Amino acid sequence: MTGSGSGVGATGRRGALKALAGTAAAGAGVGGLPWSRARAQQAANTVKIALLCDFSGMYRDVTGPTELACIKQAAAEFANRGFNIEVIFGDNQNRPDVGSNLTRSWIDRDGVDAIVDGGASSVALAVNDIVRERNKVFLNSSSATSDLTGRACSPNTVHWTYDTWMLAKSTGGATVRDGGDSWFFITADYAFGHALERDTGGFVRAAGGRVLGQVRTPFPGTSDFSSFLVQAAATRPKVIGLANAGTDTINCIKQAAEFGLQRRGIRLASLLMFLPDVHALGLATTQGLICTETFYWDLNDRTRAFTRKIRPQISVPLCMNHVGGYASVLHYLKVVAEMGVPAAKASGLEAVNRMKAMPCDDDCFGPGRIREDGRKLHPAYLFQVKAPEESRGEWDYYRLLQTTPGEEAFRPLAEGGCGFVRS
C-alpha cells in the first residue's frame, strides 16, 4: 500500500491544503511557463519524504497513521519557507523484501529524497543499504537494532529515537539492580529480538547475573505464547525478559497474567513497551511494570504543548516512535532550508553531515545532537506504570523513576565498531 500525503511550501497554507488532496497539484503552471517546464521547475524545488512502516500489522498503533500525522505536522511547520514538501507513505508489512522493493521504487521512480522510519529492524537493515547506495537520507525513527550504528552503520543514516543497547542498559540494568539476577528470554525471531536479547544479556552477565536460556518465537505470526511462557517458567527465573514489541508484547503480558506467573514470584521485564501497549492492556494488567521511552507526553511543558497541537489528528496515545518521525523530519527540513533544495537532493550524505553539524532541539526530545556514527543523543527515561487508582485521567499512565542523560544513555562511540568512524 502506498499513499500520497502533504505538500507544504512556498505557496503557503492554501497550497498546503490543496496538496493534501494528492500529488496532482504539482502539475499547476508557474508564471506562465509551459506546463513541462513548470513541472520540472517545481520538482527541482520539492523535497520528497517517504514514511515506510507498519500500517496493517502488529506495529500499526506504535507507528502507522499516528506517525504519519506527526510527520505531516513537521512539514506544515515549514510552510512559506520557499520550497515544497511532499510526504508519501507505504506499508512494509514487516517484510524486508516488501520494504526493499518500496524503497527502490520510491527512490528510482518517484524521486524520493528521504526515507523515514523503516519499521522492523530486518526491514531497516535492508533499507539502510539501499539508501547508502543511492546516496539518499534514512531517518530511522522506530527500528531498534543497535547494529545500525555498529557493524551495519551508514553515513547516510540517522538513528533517532532509541536502540537495543539503550533499552538493555535502562530497563535491563534497573531490573538487575533491583534483584532480578536470573533471566530467561522470550525473543522475537528476527534482527530486533536477537539484538535486544544480546544487549540485555550482556548487561545481566556484567552485573553478575545469569541467563538461564531463551526461546525464539516466529515473527510475524505468533499469537499464542502459552508454550513459550511455560518453558520459561520451568527454568525458575526471577525475570522473564520479553525481547519483543507491539502485539507480541501485549499477548505475552496478557497470557502471563492468566497463568499467574507474577503471583509465583516471576517478574516480567518488558524490554520494549510503548504507551499505546499500556493503553491496550489497561492499568489493571500492566501496573507496576517498568519500561523505557525517550518521550512521554506529560514529561514537561514542551511535550504537553506538542501533544495538545497534534491531539485532534490522532486516536492512540503518543509514543516515542511517533514523535521520532516528527523530530527527525523537522531537523532534516531545517538542514534543507539551510542548504537549499538542489544541494540537499544532490547528496544525502552531505545532508546527513549537515544534520550532524547542526544542534538539535524540538518540543518532543529537547536539546540534543547527532553523533558521528549517526546516533541521535537525548535522555532516556525509566518509567513505572501507575496503578489504576493513581491515574488522573486520559493517558496518565507513567511515573518517572530515572533519567539517563543522552551522553550516557547510548553505547559509547568507541564500542560500536562503526566502520566509517575515525579511530
Domain that holds residue 394: 167-293+381-412
Task: Indicate if 141 and 263 belong to the same structural domain.
Answer: no
**pLDDT score for 42:** 79
**pLDDT score for 255:** 94
**pLDDT score for 31:** 43
Task: Indicate if 282 and 305 belong to the same structural domain.
Answer: no
pLDDT at 25 over 90: no
Within a domain: residue 419?
no
**pLDDT score for 160:** 98
Task: Indicate if 93 and 205 belong to the same structural domain.
Answer: no
Within a domain: residue 333?
yes
For residues 31-45, give the mean pLDDT. Answer: 70
Beta carbons within 10 angstroms of residue 111's beta carbon? 14
Task: Indicate if 114 and 27 belong to the same structural domain.
Answer: yes
Task: Indicate if 273 and 183 belong to the same structural domain.
Answer: yes
Within a domain: residue 400?
yes
pLDDT digits (tens, 9 = 90+) for 219-275: 877 889 999 999 999 999 999 999 998 889 999 999 999 988 888 889 999 999 999
DSSP conformation letters of 184-235:
EEEEESSHHHHHHHHHHHHHHHHTT-EEEEEEEE-TTT----HHHHHHHHHT
**pLDDT score for 55:** 96
At 201, the pLDDT band (50, 70, 90 cuts) reads: very high
Domain count, the chain: 2
pTM for the predicted model, two decimal places: 0.89
Task: Indicate if 99 and 176 belong to the same structural domain.
Answer: no
Within a domain: residue 221?
yes
CATH number at residue 9: 3.40.50.2300
Closest CA to 109 of 187, 31, 50, 150: 50
Task: Indicate if 304 and 340 belong to the same structural domain.
Answer: yes
Closest CA to 123 of 164, 160, 94, 89: 94
pLDDT digits (tens, 9 = 90+) for 133-165: 999 999 999 999 999 999 999 999 999 999 999
Q: Pick the range with the lowest mean pLDDT from 24-38, 105-119, 220-234, 339-353.
A: 24-38
Share of the chain above pLDDT 70, in %: 91
d(CA 76, CA 16): 8
pLDDT at 56 over 90: yes
Kind plus residue range of the DSSP H or E element containing 147: none
Within a domain: residue 420?
no
Question: Which is higher by pLDDT, 147 or 12?
Answer: 147
- Go through the chain and tell me how many residues it has: 423
Exposure on the CB side of residue 245, measured as CA atoms within 13 A:
37
Task: Indicate if 65 and 41 belong to the same structural domain.
Answer: yes
pLDDT digits (tens, 9 = 90+) for 332-386: 999 999 999 999 999 999 999 999 999 999 999 999 999 999 999 999 999 999 9
**pLDDT score for 221:** 74
Task: Indicate if 39 and 154 belong to the same structural domain.
Answer: yes
Within a domain: residue 402?
yes
Task: Indicate if 125 and 270 belong to the same structural domain.
Answer: no
Within a domain: residue 197?
yes
Within a domain: residue 240?
yes
pLDDT digits (tens, 9 = 90+) for 273-284: 999 999 999 999
**pLDDT score for 13:** 33
pLDDT at 14 over 50: no
For residues 282-290, give the mean pLDDT. Answer: 92
**pLDDT score for 80:** 84
Task: Indicate if 9 and 42 belong to the same structural domain.
Answer: yes
d(CA 422, CA 20): 44
Task: Indicate if 263 and 350 belong to the same structural domain.
Answer: no
**pLDDT score for 26:** 30
Q: Report cis status (omega within 30 of 0) of the bond before 220.
A: yes
pLDDT at 36 over 80: no
